[in-house]
């Protein structure tokens, strides 16, 4: 294959895989019982006109939203979603205010013209009007409503009325219209946040999602790795219109993207017809060989010890794919190792330092310079305070802080084990140091200087003079 042809193939593969990693959000793995539970709730609401409410609870990154997207995609292939169902998605970070939520609900129902300049006395009146607009036919049958409430706990925040939740749950409780309300949250105590009137209308159906419940974490990462980085074996891309066609395409187009994704991103899917079948076979064999390589599996296992969030792993894959080029048409195992290392290994100490207050980090910098001057000798609080005060007096922009506050910050550094006390081995029972006042006990830094400088480099809110102080050695 000519260099120009390889260049074209790599660009197409890189573009396709980036789309796949970022936009493919319906491939859900595991939790079959929980997925079936959600599927049954949706189908009963759509086909039998029932009303349901439920909460999906699980830690961040365990796949709650992906589960919903996966079920909705399956349902869309089995029923006429366009004419029978309306899906409304709200997010607690954005729509916790009633007016904002109503505007979004009206827009997603496409009823802006029906509402017009009407003025409603209450939230309930407005919602009832929207539902009445959806009723059609001689039997005044209403289309099924599916409400997905992301960050459900934010709708229950103290100081905010829970009118939205009350009215939605009231409709499902009194069966005024076929409606399914599904809340998604990571808080186990979410029920304690609900008002009594809201609790009385809720069905108390909880669906728990726990990561890696039935499989080893490393095996899940291997499956995601192969799923995200493999190319479809068939190059024909058709839009599914019927259930039977959809099933047939799933069999023929393993690892393929849906046509809706290309439409959403304004990308012509026909450009991928130029992919060479032999090159695709070679690429897929290469991906399979990577997950059989021992050092790659070891680093995937290492990643699973730190992170269970699939989205973070997808970010790692995105970085790896971005490095593909005509000079490097295949993924180098070393790239996988370095990317995982940069994602998880140095993060803990650096992140811990970056989570400190500016005062606490300033004390760490003062101690770092003091130990540099005294050739690594330990320091006590008074010595660190002297260096910090000297710096603060020389910089007028540095806010003056009372001594008790500085002492408290110093003690917090000890509790985080960023600084460690020096023990006197010569005295049994350590009675000598125990009699010393806390301001005069000796401490040493427990974090490397490189990590401190790395934390300072990435600390966006740190004043410039403190950055300059940290990066300039003191003689």
Average pLDDT estimate for 449-474: 85
pLDDT of residue 368: 92
Q: In the chain, helix, strand, coil percent, each to 5? A: 60, 10, 35
Given CA atoms 46, 50, 55, 56 in this order, what sign does their dihedral have? Answer: negative
Q: Return the structure tokens found at 256.
A: 């393929």
Which DSSP symbol is given to 140? T
Residue bearing tokens 């979603």: 81
Which of the two residues, 102 and 27, has the higher pLDDT score? 102
Task: Check whether 91 has a pLDDT greater than 60.
Answer: yes
Q: Specify the residue for token string 């260096």.
A: 387
pTM: 0.64
pLDDT in tens, 344-380: 765 677 888 888 999 999 999 999 999 888 888 899 9
- What is the Cα–Cα distance from 37 to 33, expressed in whole angstroms? 6
DSSP-H helix ranges across 184-242: 196-201, 217-229
- Greater model confidence, 171 or 427: 171
Question: pLDDT digit string (tens) for 247-268?
Answer: 333 333 456 777 877 877 788 8
- Of 302, 297, 308, the closest CA to residue 212 belongs to 308
- The pLDDT, as a whole number, for residue 236 is 45
Task: Give the burial class of 336: count Cβ atoms within 10 A of its Cβ; 0-12 exposed, 13-18 middle, 19 or more buried.
Answer: buried
Question: Which residues sit opposite 55 in a β-bridge?
Answer: 183, 206
Nearest CA among 72, 96, 95 for reference residue 85: 72
Are 372 and 446 in contact by the 8 Å Cβ rule? The answer is no
**Whole-number Å distance between alpha carbons of 1 and 6:** 7
Residue 441: both structure tokens together:
């006990």
Q: Does the pLDDT value for residue 26 go beyond 50?
A: yes
Q: How far is 420 from 41, CA to CA, in rounded Å?
A: 55
| Cα(90)–Cα(152) distance, integer angstroms | 9
- Strands of 206-208's sheet in order across: 85-91, 144-150, 179-185, 52-57, 206-208
pLDDT at position 5 = 79
CB atoms within 10 A of CB 337: 15
- CA 207 to the chain's CA centroid: 20
Residue 396 vs residue 269, higher pLDDT = 269
pLDDT of residue 135 exceeding 90: no
Residue-level pLDDT at 255: 65
- Measuring CA to CA, how many Å separate 163 from each of 71, 102, 130? 28, 11, 16
Q: Which of 411, 420, 395 is nearest to 360 (CA)?
A: 411
Q: What is the mean pLDDT of residues 119-140?
A: 72
3-state SS, residue 146? strand
CA distance 282 to 375: 57
Tokens of 218: 């490393």
pLDDT at 383: 93
Express each pLDDT in 375-394 by its tens digit. 888 999 999 999 999 888 88
Q: What is the token pair recorded at 391?
A: 């710096």
Q: What percentage of the chain reaches a pLDDT higher than 90?
A: 23
Return the number of other C-beta atoms located less than 10 Å from residue 429's C-beta. 7
Domains of the chain and CATH, by start: 3-22+215-345 (no CATH), 31-208 (3.40.50.300), 350-471 (1.10.10.10)
Q: What angle do CA 187, 190, 191 make, to 5 degrees?
A: 150
What's the whole-number mean pLDDT along residues 43-48?
90
Residue 349 in 3-state DSSP? helix
């Amino acid at each position: 294959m000519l260099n120009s042809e390889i260049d074209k193939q790599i660009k197409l593969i890189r573009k396709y895989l980036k789309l796949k990693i970022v936009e493919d959000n319906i491939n859900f793995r595991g939790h079959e019982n929980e997925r079936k539970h959600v599927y049954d709730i949706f189908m009963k609401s759509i086909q039998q006109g029932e009303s349901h409410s439920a909460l999906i609870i699980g830690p961040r990154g365990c796949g709650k939203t992906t589960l919903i997207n996966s079920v909705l995609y399956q349902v869309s292939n089995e029923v006429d979603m366009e004419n029978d169902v309306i899906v409304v998605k709200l997010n607690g970070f954005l729509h916790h205010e009633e007016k904002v939520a109503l505007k979004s609900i009206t827009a997603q129902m496409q009823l802006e013209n029906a509402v017009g300049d009407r003025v409603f006395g209450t939230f309930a009146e407005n919602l009832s009007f929207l539902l009445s607009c959806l009723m059609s036919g001689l039997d005044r049958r209403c289309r099924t409503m599916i409400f997905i409430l992301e960050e459900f706990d934010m709708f229950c925040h103290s100081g905010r009325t829970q009118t939205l939740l009350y009215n939605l749950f009231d409709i499902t409780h009194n069966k005024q219209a076929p409606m399914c309300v599904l809340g998604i949250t990571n808080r186990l105590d979410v029920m304690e946040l609900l008002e009594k009137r809201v609790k009385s209308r809720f069905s108390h159906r909880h669906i728990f999602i726990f990561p890696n419940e039935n499989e080893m974490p490393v095996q899940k990462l291997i499956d995601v790795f192969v799923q995200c980085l493999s190319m479809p074996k068939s190059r024909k891309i058709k839009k599914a219109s019927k259930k039977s066609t959809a099933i047939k395409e799933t069999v023929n187009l393993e690892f393929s993207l849906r046509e809706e994704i290309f439409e959403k991103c304004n990308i012509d899917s026909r450009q991928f017809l130029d992919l060479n079948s032999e090159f695709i076979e070679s690429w897929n064999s290469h991906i399979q060989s990577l997950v059989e390589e021992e050092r790659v599996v070891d680093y995937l296992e290492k990643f699973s010890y730190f992170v269970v969030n699939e989205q973070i792993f997808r970010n790692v894959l995105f970085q790896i794919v971005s490095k593909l080029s005509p000079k490097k048409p295949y993924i180098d195992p070393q790239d996988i190792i370095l990317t995982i290392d940069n994602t998880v290994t140095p993060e803990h100490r650096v992140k811990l330092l970056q989570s400190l207050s500016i005062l606490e980090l300033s004390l760490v910098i003062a101690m770092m310079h003091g130990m540099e001057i005294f050739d690594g000798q330990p320091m006590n609080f008074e010595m660190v305070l002297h260096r910090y005060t000297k710096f603060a007096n020389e910089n007028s922009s540095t806010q003056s802080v009372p001594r008790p506050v500085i002492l408290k910050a110093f003690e917090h550094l000890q509790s985080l084990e960023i600084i460690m006390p020096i023990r006197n081995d010569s005295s049994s029972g350590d009675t000598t140091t125990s009699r010393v006042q806390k301001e005069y006990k000796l401490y040493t830094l427990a974090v490397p200087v490189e990590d401190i400088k790395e934390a300072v480099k990435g600390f966006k809110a740190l004043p410039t003079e403190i950055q300059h102080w940290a990066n300039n050695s003191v003689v």
